[in-house]
Structure 1
Amino acid sequence: MGSTPSRTDPPEAEADRPVIDMAEFGARIAERKAALGLPDLPRNSGKRRTASKRALLKAIEEAGGTW
């Protein structure tokens, strides 16, 4: 995934942008964090979520998504 082209960029400029493999990128970040000894942070408990945030997360779950 490269950067978004500008409206003034010529069409061939898109081909020159590098493509980032997100799975590889995530693996590299995990390796770097492990090498530095950085701990995995726990997920937020969600005890202080607003009603609108709870509704949004419920709608995502009902649509088959995960967050």
Structure 2
Amino acid sequence: MVSKTSSNQSAISLADFGQDVARRRAAAGDVVVPRNAGIRRTESKRALLAAINDADGLW
């Protein structure tokens, strides 16, 4: 089945895609994404994250 919304562009190889991603990452620099503050976390989620932290895990 052919997608009705896709363009006529041909597929690119995974190697080419990887090179393009690497080039874009290098151009963008180190992007720092802030962590979620966790203001609306449920008690069960807080307990899970605390247990992971107690087990020296990084979440």
Give the alignment's TM-score, normalised by structure 2.
Answer: 0.47
Higher Rg of the two aligned structures: 2
Give the alignment's TM-score, normalised by structure 1.
Answer: 0.43
Q: Which has the higher contact order (CA 8 A, sep 6+)?
A: 1
